[in-house]
Amino acid sequence: MPIITLTTDIGQHDFMIGAIKGQLLTCNPAFTICDITHHLSQSNYPQAAYVCSNAFKHYPQQAFHIIILNLFELPPKQLLIAKYNDHYIACPDNGILTMIAGEKPKQIITLAIANCKTLLDFTALVAQAAKRILNGEELASVGIQVSSIVEKYPLRPTAGNNWMEGQILFIDQFENVVINITRKEFEEQRNGRSFKIVFKRNEVIDTISPNYAAVFEGEKLAWFNSADYLEIAINKGNIAGLFGLQGFNESMQQQNVAMQNKWFYQTVKIYFD
């Protein structure tokens, strides 16, 4: 049973998601369609990449992932379909593909979009391509092979001998804050030393907890989440709103932005002793 996932920035308040699913099922009623999210931020590509990469890896091989992100920021020039880690990813050519993969996949095709005007024109084209690919056609026979695409890559944490600094990658609906530091990166830099996770100006966490329940209600904690990324939180609280934390924005790198008399912080620093 062929699996297709949908990840978009278009919300679910109108008919669009239902229409896209109808297009896919018209192509093949046997498709199993899974929603990842329809609430991506159009401007936050690192967040979108974090959501997609950590969801996609739990799907079986040959799954077909459709991503609609910031499609009409500029007049679309091409739609991409790539094969990566035995999965297929269909997305605009705006950098999100390499943000998710961390590299440029070796097998990429582009679809002819000259006659596409509306979102449903584009998704109808992708639906037909998905049908052919999941029916066993080679990727190269479905579109035109392409080597030049827009490439963007995730920000990586920076580090010195006794410190490392990460950017806020994602804030969930409970306002828990995910940092772009993996457990592996943290432990390699830590090298058995004690540490202090510092955010805002003087807020400190010096212990890694196994989960939220490891601290009392209202207390701060740090842990490595299900994606193995560093996360800071307050048990039964909203750490982002309480301490003025927001997702990292490259255009505001190296500065804090004051809004409504409140400072917002986009990075977290760790000191090792």
Backbone angles phi, psi at 2, to 5 degrees: -65, 135
With respect to residue 150, please indicate whether it lies within any of the assigned structural domains.
no
| Same domain (yes/no): 224, 178 | yes
CATH number at residue 87: 3.40.50.10790
d(CA 182, CA 102): 14
For residue 249, pLDDT over 70 is answered with no
Give pTM, 2 decimals.
Answer: 0.88
pLDDT-derived band at 265 (thresholds 50, 70, 90) equals low
| One-letter amino acid for residue 260 of the chain | Q
Q: What is the extent of the structural domain holding 163?
A: 158-272
- How many structural domains comprise the chain? 2
Give 38-70 pLDDT, tens digit per residue: 999 988 899 999 999 999 999 999 999 999 999
Q: Is residue 68 domain-resident? A: yes
CB 61 within 8 A of CB 86: yes
Answer yes or no: do 176 and 44 share one domain: no
Q: Does 98 lie in the same domain as 30? A: yes
Can you spell out the DSSP letters for 181-199? EEHHHHHHHHTT--EEEEE
Segment 115-151, tens digit of pLDDT: 888 999 999 999 999 999 999 999 999 999 998 999 9
Q: Are the C-beta atoms of residues 233 and 221 closer than 8 Å to each other?
A: yes
- Give Cα 211 to chain centroid, integer Å: 22
DSSP 60: P
**What pLDDT is attached to residue 256?**
42
d(Cα 256, Cα 239) in Å, to the nearest integer? 18
Is residue 153 situated within a structural domain?
no
Give counts: helices (H), strands (E), the chain.
7, 17
The single residue listed with the structure tokens 């800071």 is 232
Of 123, 145, 167, which marks where a domain is finished? 145
